[in-house]
Amino acid sequence: MKTKRYFKLFLKPYNIILKHFDQDIRISIGQKFCCFPQLEEKEIEIPIFENANGRNAFYNKMQKRLKEYKINGNFSSEILSFLHEIGHIYTYTRINEIKYNFGTTLLQEIQAKFTNPKYLNFFYNCYFNLKLEKLADKWAMEFIKANQELVEQWQDMLQENYNKVLPKFINHMKIKYHKDLLA
């Protein structure tokens, strides 16, 4: 099977979820969960593997948000991330993007000067408290609260797909590209 086919298999459940939302949203494989709501055809990137520090920081932040919104249940990082990115699309405004771009640029400049790993959580917390990020979180939390059973079904569907496709994809990468994705 070709690599492109694995990407399609990997994205299939995300496309099923998107049918419940704006039909102009498209998804692609990327290096991390991110969103481009300002484009005419809005896009969300989905990673196959992601930086563990960033993923853990995001997950921990979202666990706090679930408690803030009094939502019970165990939700995976993937479903929380995906709903957060959809939240960016539904809460996007140009004025917030300008502030966001200024904030992220400032954070990147400061982070370049303070490269010690002990400051990493501080920078994640600063980023997560940018208005655009908090608005996307709020949208995701409100959606989960109103549709918890559906979100749990989506989460199960995503997990089943990961369990089915990921081992085959990892083996494919080892054979075709001599790349060990878990190394």
β-bridge mates for residue 27, sequence order: 44
pLDDT tens-digit series, residues 111-122: 787 778 787 888
Give the pLDDT band (50/70/90) at residue 107.
confident
pLDDT at 35: 92
CB 87 within 8 A of CB 33: no
Which region among 17-26, 59-68, 91-100 has the lowest average model confidence (pLDDT)? 91-100
DSSP structure class, residue 50: -
Alpha-helical segments (H) within the chain: 3-18, 52-68, 77-91, 94-113, 120-128, 131-146, 148-177
pLDDT at 63: 96
Nearest CA to 48 out of 161, 164, 172, 166 is that of: 166
Tokens 């990673």 found at: 47
Give the pLDDT band (50/70/90) at residue 38.
confident
Q: Which two tokens stand for residue 180?
A: 């060990």
pLDDT at 183: 56
pLDDT tens-digit series, residues 126-151: 888 888 999 999 999 999 999 999 99
Nearest CA to 65 out of 158, 147, 145, 121 is that of: 145
pLDDT at 182: 60
pTM of the entire predicted model: 0.89
pLDDT at 105: 83
- 38 vs 17: CA distance, rounded Å: 21
DSSP structure class, residue 93: -
Q: Is 80 helix (H, G, I), strand (E, B) or coil?
A: helix
Q: Is the pLDDT of residue 1 over 80?
A: no
Higher local confidence (pLDDT), 127 or 159: 159
